[in-house]
Structure 1
């Protein structure tokens, strides 16, 4: 057996944005909350078949049948809905956002939140594009092109359309992007993976930012600038929201200490949960971009 939901935990805790406690999740605690277990390896977009190994990739079908099941259980009657996810789930929230919106009548307030899912098509420390190479393999193996919108694939290749920076311009549903400017997953897997750094000069820095030398910090500042530049068009829309903090982190909405706690990360004294809630309920415009590292002393850095 190559993979099965039989190996998943039977129970998981609901923290952060999924918490049912008002002191932990003030704006969404009394919502119906569902966590869809990630199981396909391509952010629920696969629609392919590997004949050589007799493997089927059915992420898109899994997504569709889960949505059908939830709608039949009462989600179709929702007055408000928020599709969210972190990491690969954050990417999935971007890729499926408009599809999720289309499930509901126009009278339903539907929005999307992507946490730690803004993966950049960036140049790595060796001068290559490690994440693009990885994504190209995923897109081809899973047959992802079949699930991507023609509005993107008519302009560029399918791998490019799997990158959020090329998808968010086409999303019509209000979307909030929550991301660490120095996303540790991207630093470790995209910017400084072993193949791009055979001498291991980044081994200390990529796992502990306090071990980065001045040139490495300069490289990471360039990555932050690239992320902010990629978001300029997205940020001009009044319906969209941003919280880009200068932390070495990854996924901040499902951890209680980063989502909503006394010492949670903040930009201008506004915590992540407050910013997301203010955006969703349209209490204020939320376009929060932090100053560069090391200015933010509220970060919960991952070491």
Structure 2
């Protein structure tokens, strides 16, 4: 669903002017919309990169994993007040789980873990970028969105005893070190409650309001 929406948005706005030129050159014209996705542009970016994100981003859970396109898409669009085209959390049985991890069933947690694996795999598969000297990453498992905007989370959320703040600071000060020195990935969630596998996520509230 999300890929279809990004394709339509790319074509509607002729967005190639704002995309990574190296990425665009790597695709035929009909596939250049893929450069809208970080997983494709990541390997074509020359500047040092440090992805800081949740592998279980709350918005993605609701609006990508369990979202559906509005009736009549792409000729008719939907707005929820934030500009999302998707009808978020509308896959049957997923509304509560999409916004609240504790409401998920064991089978849903399995799907969420697969979603997290796909996210991390997309980064790792771009080996030239993931392993490039000067790059790094902090990919945690907290069910949050835009966590870099919340100063409380800089020191609260950790992976292997290293906080977001410490990871970013160390990477920033050592720009030529191997990427493996500055790359952090997190655990998979448990089928039983509490599902959260990283205890430091307990103080990391989701920042999105539920979308009806």
Band the TM-score falls in, shorter-chain normalisation: 0.7 to 0.9
1:302 equivalenced with 2:173 (yes/no): no
Where is the helix percentage greater, Structure 1 or Structure 2? 2
**2:7 match: secondary structure:** helix
2:182 counterpart (286, 290, 294) = 286
1:228 equivalenced with 2:124 (yes/no): no
Contiguous gaps of at least 5 residues in structure 2: 70-86, 190-195, 208-212
Larger gyration radius, structure 1 or structure 2 = 1
**1:239 match: secondary structure:** coil
**Mapping of residues 234-245 of structure 1, within 5 Å:** 234-245=129-140
1:153 equivalenced with 2:24 (yes/no): yes
**1:231 match: secondary structure:** helix
Q: TM-score, normalised by structure 1?
A: 0.53
Q: Which residue of 2 aligns with 1:38?
A: none
2:107 counterpart (211, 215, 227) = 215
Deviates more, 1:228-237 or 1:195-204: 195-204
| TM-fit CA distance, 1:151 | 2.5
| TM-fit CA distance, 1:238 | 2.2
1:174 counterpart (41, 48, 61) = 48
Q: Which residue of 1 aligns with 2:6?
A: 135
Q: Distance in 2 between matches of 1:274 and 1:149?
A: 29
**Mapping of residues 78-117 of structure 1, within 5 Å:** none
| TM-fit CA distance, 1:215 | 1.5
1:165-198 CA-to-partner distances (Å, cap 9, x unmatched) read 0000011111100011111111111110144875
Contiguous gaps of at least 5 residues in structure 1: 1-129
| TM-fit CA distance, 1:251 | 1.4
Deviates more, 1:188-197 or 1:212-221: 188-197
Q: Distance in 1 between matches of 2:25 and 2:91?
A: 40
Identify if the C-alpha distance between structure 1 residues 265 and 198 changes in structure 2 by more than 3 Å, giving closer, same or farther.
Answer: closer
| TM-fit CA distance, 1:131 | 1.1
Q: Distance in 1 between matches of 2:166 and 2:182?
A: 10
1:184 counterpart (58, 61, 64) = 58
RMSD across aligned C-alpha pairs, in angstroms?
A: 2.0
Where is the strand percentage greater, Structure 1 or Structure 2? 1
Q: TM-score, normalised by structure 2?
A: 0.74
Q: Are the counterparts in 1 of residues 147 and 153 from structure 2 also a CA contact under 8 Å?
A: yes
**1:288 match: secondary structure:** strand
2:153 counterpart (238, 258, 268) = 258
Q: Are the counterparts in 2 of residues 258 and 265 from structure 1 also a CA contact under 8 Å?
A: yes
Identify if the C-alpha distance between structure 1 residues 141 and 296 changes in structure 2 by more than 3 Å, giving closer, same or farther.
Answer: same
| TM-fit CA distance, 1:278 | 0.4
Report how many residues are paired. 171
1:89-146 CA-to-partner distances (Å, cap 9, x unmatched) read xxxxxxxxxxxxxxxxxxxxxxxxxxxxxxxxxxxxxxxxx11122112212221023
